[in-house]
Structure 1
Amino acid sequence: MIPADLFPPRIQLANTPTPLQKMERLSRKAGVEIFFKRDDYTGSELSGNKIRKLEFLLADALAKGADTVITCGGAQSNHCRATALAAVRCGLSSRLILRTVDPAKPPPLSGNILLDCLAGSEIVWVTPEQYRARDEIFEREAQRLRSQGRKPFIIPEGGSSALGAWGYVAGMDELVADLTRLDDGQVKPTTVICAAGSGGTTAGLALGALLSGAPIRVVGVNVCDDRDYFVAIIDSICRQFNETWPSVLAGGIPAYDIIDGYVGRGYALSRPEELAMLRDLVRLEGVVLDPVYTGKAYFGMTAELSVNPQVFGERIVFVHTGGQFGLFPVADQFAMLV
């Protein structure tokens, strides 16, 4: 276990520890042990992996006297939904910068957008082109809030920063405890696989694995962009982590892998074969993934296993990072599959 005094201040938002469940039928089908770390169980409205990061980020916001948090993401961003609802729990307001093709005609109120609005978030719609300059938009919106006498706190995309990475340093600490119990005190080699959408979860898991000393390989399956993009982001988060807390790892840079090639049609765009695999998992194990993150990561993991059942070793832990609210806006795409 990581000593408690190493961790920065945090607030309790997530229902943790989350279960580690063996997928018995999936394991038999794949020929290796496959467990799911059920981080979709971190809450109901506050479900998913983002909550672990927000425990540290919102603690910092409150310590700095903020009254409004600003963050960004896609129209159906799980991170933005989680931030909006967690902010309410902390007594804060939220402003969300969401991207869509035509800001004058935003998407309908469904899935995460509906929850954003129910939470009272102020939504600023921008085009994908404008979104590329999100740091400038962050500062513009922060300045607008300051001019109104408000105190903004900026949370980066996905909560992916050195501080946010502590959420999955803690998550890995929890997982190592799970595996220690499972293995009667001696963790056997394990590959931990997660979706990589903004890099923070993969970075935190890799940092936590290095800190634990356990024989754990961390693998991210990118759901957008490419391997080089994510290596740059994750390495940057890890360097910033070491610069901010130099005594934690004494400058150590964690090892991790990025499995590229499964972005498909693009971010938040699904192929029929990806959706069919989500359906098949529900019918095999009763586990529901989302089409944007866990669905693509699961598709990539399964495709790699179909080529080489030993590619990830004898045991896999797939981190279920939530996101099921993203199913509802694409329900029509399942019409021919159910």
Structure 2
Amino acid sequence: MLCSRSFPIPPINKVTTVITQHNIHNHKRLDILRRFQSHQTRTMEVEANTNICHTRAAGLDFLTKKAYTPPSWASHINPIPSHIFSLGHLPTPIHKWNLPNLPTDTEVWLKRDDLSGMQLSGNKVRKLEFLMADAVAKGADCIITIGGIQSNHCRATAVAAKYLNLDCYLILRTSKVLVDQDPGLTGNLLVERLVGAHVELISKEELLKEGRRPYVIPVGGSNSLGTWGYIKAIREIEEQLQSGTDKAKGLGYAINTSEELKFVMEIAATTGIVLDPVYSGKAAYGMLKDMAENPKKWEGRKILFIHTGGLLGLFDKVEQMAPLLGNWSQMDVHESVPRSDGIGKMF
């Protein structure tokens, strides 16, 4: 239950949002944010005795087609989608993040897009709500998309396609070393195969010759229609608090130093929040590093950090992370234990 009180969120120039992916095309991003920043400061309600923002139950409209109306500050962008499919558990909550060693009077808040759903987890579902609605409207019977061997986008697309009874064909990029090998069942690949996605090399033309009606989604779902997913997310944040943008710099895509992986482990141990090593982990690492090096710049600021999910990517880092975990071993069971009632054994 919500308490009756509410508190004002500081003006836009006092709040920083860290988004870990370029979800809005560059030529549209600045204009959209300028329009967004012109809105007046809003308030948000919080649950009694907690710092967790209120979210409404989304279960009743899950997997339904809904009409979409853009926010006023984005109504000039064309084409405007008319419908979406409700695929994610949205809006995702915002809560205070008690990170260690923050500069004086600095607050960090966390936007939990990692809680948008387990199989469709992360920010990808926001784009897919629009892309899948367009695919169904155009009469598609299958989806084609492309990504890396552990692509969060491909996994989310495969799950979304299955929800809507569409076949899914995934073209996965890999190294020359692995091109003739079975990529296995690790992380995102396991989920993709569980939901029956076709992991292979196939062209749109081949499917058309077979009489199929493919709908092609680009890498990451990053096209003009997918952009609306984060336009919708900005409106969601606007309803929860007033926000702006900032950025953090990492070393390279999907490449982690031991310091970054150790950081991911330490944050999980100290705050209970598990970050993925490719996006959110790198961004949080860069943010806290800059806070340590330039504390005056951050003092007294209130930061909203968007956790974009992608936790299954951790499985691809097991070999790198294992040495950082210290002394650990796998338990081996050599004999079973009789049950107290004498009937059979416990294991």
Larger RCO, structures 1/2 (Cα 8 Å, 6+ apart): 2
Unaligned 5+ runs, structure 2: 1-35, 40-66, 71-79, 326-347
The equivalent of 1:287 in structure 2 is 273
Residue in 2 that maps onto 1:298 = 284
Change (3 A) 1:4 1:302: same
Higher helix share: 1
Equivalent in the alignment of 2:316: 329
Deviation at 1:124, TM superposition (A): 2.5
Query: Which stretches of structure 1, 4 residues or longer, exceed 3 Å deviation after superposition?
Result: 1-4, 310-313
| SS of equivalent residue, structure 1 residue 279 | helix
> Which of the residues 296, 308, 320 maps onto 2:307?
320
TM score, norm. by length of structure 1: 0.69
Picking from 97, 102, 108, the partner of 1:29 is 102
What's the counterpart of residue 128 of structure 1? none
Following superposition, the deviation at residue 85 of structure 1 comes to 0.3
Write the deviation string for residues 102-145 of structure 1: whole angstroms up to 9, x where unpaired.
311143211001111111111126xxxxxxxxxxxxxx711111
Change (3 A) 1:87 1:220: farther
Which digits, 9 at most, give the CA deviation of each residue in 1:209-234, with x for residues without a partner? xxxxxxx2x2344xxxxxxxxxxxxx
Amino acid across the alignment from 2:220: G
Q: Which whole-Å CA distance do the structure 2 matches of 1:219 and 1:151 have between them?
A: 41
Distance (whole Å) between structure 1 residues aligned to residue 206 and residue 144 of structure 2: 12
**Is 1:71–1:97's contact at 8 Å kept on the other side of the alignment?**
yes
Q: CA RMSD in A?
A: 2.1
Indicate whether 1:269 and 2:331 are aligned: no
Match of 1:98 in 2: 172
Whole-Å separation in 2 of the counterparts to 1:112 and 1:4: 30
Q: Which residue of 1 aligns with 2:134?
A: 60
| CA positional deviation for 1:310 | 4.8
Q: Which residue of 2 aligns with 1:107?
A: 183
Any residues of structure 2 matched to 1:147-296 within 5 Å, and which?
147-179=209-241, 187=242, 190=243, 216=244, 218-221=245-248, 260=249, 262-263=250-251, 266-296=252-282
Superposed CA offset, 1:247-277 (max 9, x none): xxxxxxxxxxxxx4x12xx422211000010
Letter matched to residue 103 of structure 1: V
Larger Rg computed on CA atoms: 2
Asked if 2 retains the 8 angstrom alpha-carbon contact of 1:33 and 1:315, the reply is yes
Residues 53 and 167 of structure 1 are in contact (CA less than 8 Å); yes or no, is this contact kept in structure 2?
Answer: yes
Distance 1:25 1:34 in 2: 7
Task: Describe the shift of the 1:118–1:16 C-alpha distance in structure 2 as closer, same or farther (beyond 3 A).
Answer: same
Is the CA contact 1:100–1:106 (under 8 Å) kept in the aligned structure 2?
Answer: no
Contact 2:103 2:298 in 1 (8 A): no
Identity of aligned residues (%): 43
Structure 1 residue 309 and structure 2 residue 290: aligned? Answer: no
Distance 1:300 1:63, change over 3 A: same
**1:81-160, aligned counterparts within 5 Å?**
81-101=155-175, 102-124=178-200, 141-160=203-222
Query: Which one of the candidate residues 67, 70, 73 is aligned to 2:144?
Result: 70
Work out the CA distance in 2 between the residues paired with 1:220 and 1:65: 39
Deviation digits for residues 65-96 of structure 1 (CA, Å, limit 9, x no counterpart): 00111111110000000000000001111111
Amino acid at match of 1:115: V
CA distance in 2, matches of 1:73, 1:25: 33
Whole-Å Cα distance in 1 between the matches of residues 115 and 217 of structure 2?
Answer: 23
Matches of 2:322 and 2:214 in 1, distance apart?
43
CA distance in 2, matches of 1:173, 1:284: 31
Seen in structure 2, the aligned counterparts of structure 1 residues 30 and 82 have a Cα distance that, compared at 3 Å, is: farther
Which residue of 1 is the match for residue 21 of structure 2? none
Cα distance 1:30–1:145, how it changes in 2: closer, same or farther (>3 A)? farther
Letter in 2 for 1:97: I
Alignment: residue pair count: 247
Question: Structure 1: how far apart are the matches of 2:296 and 2:154?
Answer: 37
The SS at the match of 1:149 is coil
